[in-house]
Structures are given as C-alpha cells and as structure tokens.
Chain A
C-alpha cells in the first residue's frame, strides 16, 4: 500500500457547559509504509482523538485522511488504552471474533509468540492486566493489519512487564511489518520503539517537530544509548521540552 496522509483542518468538541473548543487545528502528517511512528505529546492533547479519527470511529471533523490503498478501506488494528476485551468470551474467542473466518494456525502462532497458549480458554476477568494487554495485541495482529494504532498500551503496567510486552511486540512487528502509530507521553519508550518521533502540542493539537530515531534496531534495549538520544533531543530541539 502507499503512504498515509493525514490533513485535519479543524476538529472541535463541545464541553458539558456547551462551550466549543478546538481540539486539532491544521495537523498535517505523512507516514511512510511499514514504519513505526510514535506520537509524543502531553496528556489530554488529543492523541486518542486523532487515533479515533484515523480508525474512522470519529467522523466529526474537517479535513481529509488518505490511508493509501485507493477505494479500499485498509485493515486497521487498534490497541486501545484499556484492552477492551469481551469479558464473557474466552481469550481465544476474543481473538477469533475479530477475524472474518476462523484461522486456527495464525491464532495458535500468535498465542505462542505472546506466551499465552496456556490461558487461551480462560475468561479475561481471571487474568492480569499485562496478560489482557498482550491479548489485545494478539487480536490486533491477528487481523493482519495494514495500519496498527496503539494508544498508550503499556500505561499502568509495571516496568518489567512493560519491557517484556514491548519486546514481544517488537518481535511480532519485525515478523509482520506494517505501519504502526503509537501514542505515548513517555519519551524513553518512544525512542526505544520508533523509527520516527512526531511531537504534538496541546490545545489545539498540531505537529511541533518530527525526528528520525537513528539508534540501530538491535541497540534499542541499551538504556544508555536511549538516554543519550533523549539528551541529544532535548538539547537540539528545545521546542519539545515543554511538551514532556
């Protein structure tokens, strides 16, 4: 598929006291295929709104989104901030429901890759948050998406679990590359994952700057390198300091 172009001229929302606010103004973004892009911005700046617009869950905006593939709606996987699993369906059923036809082998291999084969017949309420997050990642990968949207999927996980799930995510993505839009306000996490960082400002949201991450993929686990890159960013891009 061809590149993704996002051009949102205006997105407003109305608060409970009937006041209109602009959430997004003149946001232009072009994304190359199969890249891992992190959207970094302060909490509440409208990142989730942007993902909802791309996922076609929110259609109340002025502008244009072109997701490549002429005339054909691309397959979009969405990993929400909370896992949004159906509590009355088992782990396996939750994944199967996202698919049009049963694809046993794909589900089996994903469950194995995420080390969850042993809990596939359990109900989500009986699982930890880390496990539920991994299931939501499997569900998104199972549909073999063209674009994967991730909304702070590691928030409220403890550091070792977050690191583990991040590692599993990267393994999966390298096996099946596709465009990922990953929302976070954690700069270290963004550097460790992304090909490209897009910094966003709040109220209204727009792009402040875009930076390529130059650390080789194999060195992303090296915390010293990540920290060095973070310092380099803060020194050379003073405009992003106030966003963090």
Chain B
C-alpha cells in the first residue's frame, strides 16, 4: 500500500469513529454509547483484569480447536485428495457435516458429553473440520503431476516429497483455510461459551446482554478485533511473505 492509500485508509477509519460519535450524540441513549465511553469501559475492564482473563481463555480455546481442526483437516484432506475411492466414499459425509448448523453441533455435544471443556472444543472442531478438509482436498487434487513425477524419478524420499514438492503447493490452500477458519471459529466459539461455559468472551457478552450493558459489549468487541488484526499482521502476513518470496 502506498502512502496516499494509507492516508485514505486512516481517513476512512477516522470517519467511521466520527460517524459513530455523531450518531451516539444524536441518539443520546445507553443503547449506543459514544466511542469515548467505550474506550473508558475498555480501560476499566483491562485494569480490573476481567477482559484479559476472559479474552485469554477464549484465545486458548481458539488455539486448541483451531490446531486440532487444521491438523486433522490437512491430513484427511490430503488423503482424500490423493485417493479417489476414499474421496468418493466420504464425499457424502462431508456434504452432511458441512450443512449441519453450528448451533446444532454445539447443543448435541453438550447434551452427549456434558457441559465440559472438551465438549466445547469438540463442538468447534466438528464445525470447522469439514471446511478444512474440503479446501485441502481441492488443493491436493490440483497438485502438479509433472513435479510429482520429477520427484519420483529423482528418488525423493516421502519426507522430501512432502516438504519440498507437496506442501509448498498446498500453502495457498492452507492459508485460505486458516483465514476462513479463524473467522469462523471466533464466531462459533462465542456461541459455545454463551451456551455452556462460565467464562470466556461469549459468557461475558451474554452477561452484558442481560444487563443491557452495550458499552461493555462494544469494549469486548474492540479487544476482539484488535486480537484478530494482530494475528493477521504479526503471524499470517509474515508467513505469507516468507512462503511466497519466490514469486515474481
């Protein structure tokens, strides 16, 4: 992004805040606090330790469920992409799991396994897994056969073939699954916490909803957005840049 575009992006952000502020002043009601009030609440929550505690717990759940879903999804996706018969067999299962509403899986997990941590994580994994599998499967189907032949011809070991021939080709698909996965898991995890946990962001937001405390809801939302932006800027973008440095 060049300087002019950066200025434009910052200006649009300032405009959004100004609009919000103006609208809040115009409505003049607790249901829409001004940005200033939200920031004050945000600091209070940070200082009291409440926000970091709940945000931390949600992040832990996110990391656990995301890692499991990505690891299993990549493994199953690659196997299905490489094996036509297995793919044909499991295709229907995938379609079914892709179409089960998130809320249903969450409720079923809590009903079957109780209101416990592992049921919460499992519910998120089940929601995310089919997505990863489908993305990685399509990536595996699109692998360059010429390069695989070259690897066979030059007696590449399985490990060498995977890390030097297959994985770099899957990289764009893994990144796509990661980005869409993070966005999806954030949303699902809040519902999971709201329905069956007594801590975490989802639980807190549920609490604020009962108190009609919009300022706190918005303060937590801001923390949320900040974390996602940090993940994008500090982890995903550098990963992308490193992996794609060979591109012209």
Q: Show the binding face of A for B, using Cβ within 8 Å.
A: 52, 55-57, 76, 78, 80, 82, 84, 86-89, 97-98, 100, 123-126, 139, 143
Contacts and interface: CB of A to CB of B under 8 A. Distances in A.
Contacts of A124: 246
Contact of B168 (A84, A88, A126): A88
B160 interface: yes
A121 to B, nearest CB: 11
B154 A86 contact: no
Interface SS of chain A: helix, strand, loop or mixed?
Answer: loop
A80 B153 CA distance: 11
B164 A89 contact: yes
Contacts, number: 43
Interface of B: 146-147, 149-150, 152-156, 160, 164-165, 168, 243, 245-248
Give the residue among A97, A100, A143 with the most B Cβ atoms within 10 A: A97
25 contacts: A55-B153, A57-B149, A57-B152, A76-B153, A78-B154, A80-B149, A82-B146, A84-B146, A84-B147, A84-B150, A86-B147, A86-B165, A86-B168, A87-B246, A88-B246, A97-B156, A97-B160, A97-B164, A98-B154, A123-B245, A124-B246, A125-B246, A125-B247, A126-B248, A143-B154
A80 B150 CA distance: 8
A125 B164 contact: no
Contacts of B154: 78, 97-98, 139, 143
B92 to A, nearest CB: 26
Which of A76, A87, A100 has the most B CB atoms < 10 Å from its CB? Answer: A87
A57 B243 CA distance: 30
A160 B37 CA distance: 74
Contacts of B152: 57
A78 B246 contact: no
Most A CB within 10 A of own CB, among B155, B165, B246, B248: B246
Nearest to B161: A97
Contacts of B147: 84, 86
A97 B152 CA distance: 12
A52 B150 CA distance: 11
Contacts of B150: 78, 80, 84
Contacts of A88: 168, 243, 246
Residue of B150, B164, B168, B247 contacting most chain A CB atoms (<10 Å):
B150
Given A55-B153, A86-B147, A89-B164, 7 more contacts: A57-B153, A84-B146, A86-B168, A87-B246, A97-B154, A124-B246, A125-B248
A78 B152 CA distance: 11
> Which has the most chain A C-beta neighbours within 10 Å: B147, B154, B155, B245?
B154
Given A97-B156, A139-B154, A123 B149 contact: no
A88 to B, nearest CB: 4
A123 B147 CA distance: 16
Nearest to A124: B246
A57 B154 CA distance: 11
Nearest to B152: A57
Contacts of B168: 86, 88
B22 to A, nearest CB: 50
Contacts of A84: 146-147, 149-150
Contacts of B153: 55-57, 76, 78
A147 to B, nearest CB: 11
Contacts of A87: 246
Nearest to A125: B248
Contacts of B164: 86, 89, 97
Nearest to B156: A97
B143 to A, nearest CB: 12
A100 B159 CA distance: 13
A86 B154 CA distance: 13
Contacts of A80: 146, 149-150
B246 A123 contact: yes
A124 B150 CA distance: 16
Contacts of B246: 87-89, 123-125
A152 to B, nearest CB: 15
